[in-house]
Structure 1
Amino acid sequence: MITRRQFFQMAASAAASPLLPGVSLAAQEGASVLATGSQTNVLQAVIVPEPAGWVAGLNISNPAVIVSVNLFDGLVTYDDAFRPVPQLAQSWEESADHRTITFHLRKDVKWHDGHPFTSADVQYSLMEVTKRVHPRGGATFATLDAVDTPDDHTAAFRFSSPVPAVWSALGGYETQILPKHLYAGSQPLTNPLNAHPVGNGPYVFKEWVRGNYVVLERNPDYWDKANQPHFARIVFRIIPDEGTRLTALQSGDLRYAPTDAVSLPDLARLRTDPRFVVSSHVFDGVAPISFLDFNLRRKPFQDLRVRQAFAHAINRDALARVVWYGLAKPAEGPIPSYQTRFFKPGLPQYAYDPAKAEALLDAAGLRRGEGGVRLRVNNLPLPFGNQYVLSAQFIQQQLRHIGVELELVSTDVPTFNRRVYADYDFDTTINWYAAFADPQLGVTRRYWTKAIKPGSTSSNATGYSTPEMDRAIEGLVSVSDPVARKPFIDQLQQIAQEQVPSVNLLELHFYAIHAASLGGFSSTPMGAYSSLASVRNT
């Protein structure tokens, strides 16, 4: 059994296992100039890592969403019980057969460029962006046939069959409404505005100095007079080094760190420090699952026995305990076990069994050769913090015991997205996706043929495509009755565990840190994906 000390000793000596590169700390020097004014009007935060763009409706990475929700409102927001509350839609009604939802939009909302917000923006965003290029939108809105716009402030969603899950997806963190007058006629994924968004929310995008910081400023024309932003400016600093982030938090230079800010040993210490509040509840609704993806376009992984061998070679209990300090538990499938409405007990499992893994590789014709090596493949760890590199190093060591050499390839976020989601230039990855409150939102994209969308991040990168899985997914997205829907959700989980296009590794527990001198943070299960308009000094 590997202890934490043994693992980190091995990781430190693994010169062939490069860590991900970061931006030079010298690039942080300019960030100090942004601390103009007292803490009463500037909120200094940190974001990890730097994404390729800031429009969450197109780039759904964690950092992009956390910043973007301050720029864009959703049709609805949510209360502490995760019930929809009016936002851009001031009211709505649902037809008796649940096939039509008519939203009545606010008339006092403007885009940050002064252009009025209308139902045309909603229609364009849902039909041309969310359904077509959003990695989760195709499944969530699979049965959305049209958005009717009888006038500028009415948007009627017409479904061929009801979609109960849609009510969990209408917030600005997920189904983002974009300005049609600035996006129509362009390729949404490559529109230059993704680097300088024009939204309609409480903060206006001011500046992005790559590798250094992003500045948002209070929207003086924000429509919600009862929830005007407290801070005049939010500065999201981009600080690649964990130690530097910790020092900045402890000194008070940083007051908010929404995710992946410090090492897990340091997190344990901050939890007992009265100067800080550490919360994981604000990520409960995200329901993150980590996994090892195979590129099924590569010949070795087209053999089920090879994929099963990898699964048996990984001690997921030790991975959770040693690398993640207990802030994780082994995943039993693609849906978190605590989502009891959907989770299927008794799924096929792959116990840690190196001998069985070796037998499977022998049977697949991958016998040990020179130096005892059977197979050499690469792995791209998600560049979202050191935990994913450490996870990859842990798995690298375990695969070496069964004769598999795993070369770790360091990337930044744009390179990772290009290689994994556009060029499909990888053998394996270490990654995580949000499962969200319903598998239709976050799970189906990993396995559905229709979710193979080149260039769309966090979509089906493996290339996995089978008729039986597609039938299960198309059943669960088209059936609204919970009883009739459950067998399709069960089939998805069963097939995913039997065919192993990914090894489901861990159910993760993310955390956010803020100074105890701040209050007003959202306490909902999606709190980390809520705007900071209500955050203020206490």
Structure 2
Amino acid sequence: MMSRRAFAQGVALLALLPAFSLAPSAHAAGEPRRGGTLNAIIQPEPVSLTAAVLAAAPTGIVGGNIFDGLVKYDLALKPQPELAERWETSPDGRTITFHLRRGVTWHDGKPFTSADVQWSLEHVWKPLNPRNPALFRNITSAETPDPHTVVFKLAEPSVALFSMLNGNGAQILPKHLYEGTNVLTNPHNAKPVGTGPFVFKEWVKGSHILLERNPNYWDAGKPYLDRIVFRVVPDGAARAAGLEKGDIHYAPLSPIPLRDAERLAKLPTVKVGTQGYDWLSPWLYLDFNVDSRHFKDARVRRAVAHAIDREALIKLVWFGFGKAAISPVPSTLAAFHDLEVPKYPFDPKKAEALLDEAGLKRGPDGTRLTITHDFLPYGEDYRRTGEFVKQSLKRVGIEVTLRGQDTAAFTRRVYGDRDFDLSSSWSGSFPDPQLGVARLYSSAFAGKNIPWSNGSGFRSAEADSIFKAVESEPDPTKRIQAWKRFQVLAQTELPTLPLVELRFFNVYSSRLRNAVTRGDQIFGALTEAWLDEPEKKN
């Protein structure tokens, strides 16, 4: 358990953040400097570089610099033109016409056309989208009257669609390199060819991923950087040291131990900021394997919920970078969030009573049952979350064996083989819960080996009917009511236990300008970023 001194350091870090957060205009003054190599951190190392087939954060961070989307999102999360210069929606909401940017080429020189969008919809977004394929299955067809126009025909109006059309949520793949192949095993998933501001050059496993400036980028004069090197640095202390020395300029997704962030934020050469995650709305949760021997019983799941002190978890493990979660729809999605869901306050006595009621009495050594907990292998904060859960459950007689592994093994075990009792992970909710929340509870995802989907194995006809209804419901009030019904159901059955609404941070070199210019920056390109001249040493 973390010491009081460590907690005090975390509180001090929160006090520092307003002074050090990078507002979009913090370094906007002055002419951008062209050239230079941005040294960045990617941790853990991605399994793939193509978000179209894998919704993992490291994949999105790197791939966001290689691929453009039809749209991008500004700091208010409003869609802005990217590959689509403009668009119109018919009065009945069932036809959307996109006018594509002319003169755009793939990194191999082939022209980007409406055929690429049409093919990606039919062969990637609909059958393979790892977040919400139903969102795209609602698009019955994509017509291509000419190379620069694509017309989506929808079965029903879709309120959520325009929240998932960036280069991460609806990644467009080059038809000429994927057509006739197995999309999931195509070698270009590891050697991507996009239309974005940076071109993939090499991936040296265990070392780095190199991207170079696209000299033919459609946005003339950009990007400003010559190259980005995403370095794989598994050790948190080494990442902190690289940032402190100035060897690393950019490190997203809470890249260093929180105790180191407090120290680095005091340095004049380092900045800490929390912007660029608005599109994501991340939350941390536990998945119960509802098919496992003990967690089939909802009373045992509720007992675990009462055994964990979320406020202590946030303070002692996450240094205050979060808020206690009471629902699978975070409070950041204010219109949808329901305050009246069943709640499970920290109450060890209640937990013990539920375990007794479920027939899990303490044995001679005080143990009621023994389980495994597979924690997300994304660094020290997730390992320490696992340790916190282990200590919390031990107090009520549940012995926990922590199991660490690499990302590929973790996703296969949890979402494919389903060989676990309890797992911990985080996911993005995105601007509409249809995009990020439904996949965690939908029967359609259970046991399908789709990472960051329904890991618990929860199957509910009532939940599925709600998801189906919100897909085509145009009335915002009715959609909100439906999502509130779902939240009550989810928190009653409790296949997944919300723990923390996360507040991720980035660590930057003070030389890096315009690192955050959009609301989906975490998965967006560093098109506007540039490096100031290093200070001369006497």
Mark yes or no: TM-score above 0.5.
yes
Gapped regions of structure 2 (runs ≥ 5) = 8-32, 533-538
Deviates more, 1:86-95 or 1:516-525: 516-525
Q: Which residue of 1 aligns with 2:127?
A: 132
Contact 1:332 1:504 (C-alpha < 8 Å) held by counterparts: yes
State which of 339, 342, 360 in structure 2 corresponds to 1:345: 339
Amino acid of the residue matched to residue 168 of structure 2?
Y
State which of 512, 515, 519 in structure 1 corresponds to 2:513: 519
Deviates more, 1:303-312 or 1:137-146: 137-146
Cα distance change, pair 277–3 in 1 and its aligned pair in 2 (3 A): closer
Q: Which residue of 2 aligns with 1:425?
A: 419
Q: Which residue of 2 aligns with 1:26?
A: none
What is the rounded CA distance, in whole Å, between the counterparts of 2:208 and 2:328 in structure 1?
35
SS at match of 1:45: strand
Per the TM alignment, residue 517 of structure 1 is displaced from its structure 2 partner at its CA by 1.2
Contact 2:37 2:225 (C-alpha < 8 Å) held by counterparts: yes
Q: Which residue of 1 aligns with 2:276?
A: 282
Q: Does 1:535 align with 2:534?
A: no
What is the rounded CA distance, in whole Å, between the counterparts of 1:92 and 1:6 in structure 2?
55
Contact 1:423 1:454 (C-alpha < 8 Å) held by counterparts: no
Q: Which residue of 1 aligns with 2:192?
A: 197
Identity of aligned residues (%): 44
Per the TM alignment, residue 502 of structure 1 is displaced from its structure 2 partner at its CA by 0.7
What is the rounded CA distance, in whole Å, between the counterparts of 2:325 and 2:135 in structure 1?
24
Q: Which residue of 2 aligns with 1:225?
A: 220
What is the rounded CA distance, in whole Å, between the counterparts of 1:495 and 1:335 in structure 2?
12
Q: Which residue of 2 aligns with 1:34?
A: none
Instruction: Kindly report which structure 2 residues correspond to 1:372-521, keeping only aligned pairs within 5 A, or say none.
Output: 372-452=366-446, 454-521=448-515
State which of 359, 366, 370 in structure 1 corresponds to 2:353: 359
Cα shift readout 1:407-465 (whole Å, capped 9, x = no counterpart):
11111111112112222222111100001111011111111112336232211111111
Per the TM alignment, residue 189 of structure 1 is displaced from its structure 2 partner at its CA by 2.2
Contact 1:134 1:456 (C-alpha < 8 Å) held by counterparts: no
Q: Which residue of 1 aligns with 2:163?
A: 168
What is the rounded CA distance, in whole Å, between the counterparts of 2:349 and 2:180 in structure 1?
57
Amino acid of the residue matched to residue 137 of structure 1?
N
What is the rounded CA distance, in whole Å, between the counterparts of 2:374 and 2:193 in structure 1?
33
State which of 173, 183, 186 in structure 2 corresponds to 1:188: 183
What is the rounded CA distance, in whole Å, between the counterparts of 1:418 and 1:141 in structure 2?
25
Contact 1:282 1:527 (C-alpha < 8 Å) held by counterparts: yes
Contact 1:4 1:323 (C-alpha < 8 Å) held by counterparts: no
Deviates more, 1:416-425 or 1:287-296: 416-425
Per the TM alignment, residue 370 of structure 1 is displaced from its structure 2 partner at its CA by 4.2
What is the rounded CA distance, in whole Å, between the counterparts of 2:198 and 2:334 in structure 1?
37
Deviates more, 1:409-418 or 1:137-146: 137-146
Amino acid of the residue matched to residue 504 of structure 1?
P
Per the TM alignment, residue 211 of structure 1 is displaced from its structure 2 partner at its CA by 0.9
What is the rounded CA distance, in whole Å, between the counterparts of 2:214 and 2:5 in structure 1?
52
Q: Which residue of 2 aligns with 1:16?
A: none
Deviates more, 1:51-60 or 1:238-247: 51-60
Contact 2:77 2:278 (C-alpha < 8 Å) held by counterparts: no
Contact 2:74 2:519 (C-alpha < 8 Å) held by counterparts: no
Contact 2:72 2:520 (C-alpha < 8 Å) held by counterparts: no
Per the TM alignment, residue 524 of structure 1 is displaced from its structure 2 partner at its CA by 2.7
Contact 1:75 1:170 (C-alpha < 8 Å) held by counterparts: yes
Per the TM alignment, residue 7 of structure 1 is displaced from its structure 2 partner at its CA by 10
Q: Which residue of 1 aligns with 2:143?
A: 148
Amino acid of the residue matched to residue 203 of structure 2?
W
Contact 2:517 2:528 (C-alpha < 8 Å) held by counterparts: no
Contact 2:302 2:351 (C-alpha < 8 Å) held by counterparts: yes
Instruction: Kindly report which structure 2 residues correspond to 1:232-251, keeping only aligned pairs within 5 A, or say none.
Output: 232-251=226-245
What is the rounded CA distance, in whole Å, between the counterparts of 1:173 and 1:270 in structure 2?
31
Deviates more, 1:135-144 or 1:410-419: 135-144
SS at match of 1:107: coil
Q: TM-score, normalised by structure 1?
A: 0.91
Cα distance change, pair 533–388 in 1 and its aligned pair in 2 (3 A): same
SS at match of 1:104: strand
What is the rounded CA distance, in whole Å, between the counterparts of 1:46 and 1:145 in structure 2?
40
What is the rounded CA distance, in whole Å, between the counterparts of 1:194 and 1:310 in structure 2?
39
Contact 2:55 2:131 (C-alpha < 8 Å) held by counterparts: no
Contact 2:34 2:224 (C-alpha < 8 Å) held by counterparts: no
Cα shift readout 1:125-168 (whole Å, capped 9, x = no counterpart):
12221222222132433422221222222211111111121111
Contact 2:71 2:79 (C-alpha < 8 Å) held by counterparts: yes
Per the TM alignment, residue 173 of structure 1 is displaced from its structure 2 partner at its CA by 2.1
Cα shift readout 1:236-282 (whole Å, capped 9, x = no counterpart):
00001111111111111101111232111111222232212211121
Amino acid of the residue matched to residue 51 of structure 1?
P
Q: Which residue of 1 aligns with 2:11?
A: none
Contact 2:74 2:520 (C-alpha < 8 Å) held by counterparts: no
Contact 1:292 1:505 (C-alpha < 8 Å) held by counterparts: yes
Q: Which residue of 2 aligns with 1:116?
A: 111
Q: Which residue of 1 aligns with 2:328?
A: 334
Cα distance change, pair 40–90 in 1 and its aligned pair in 2 (3 A): closer
Count of aligned positions: 507
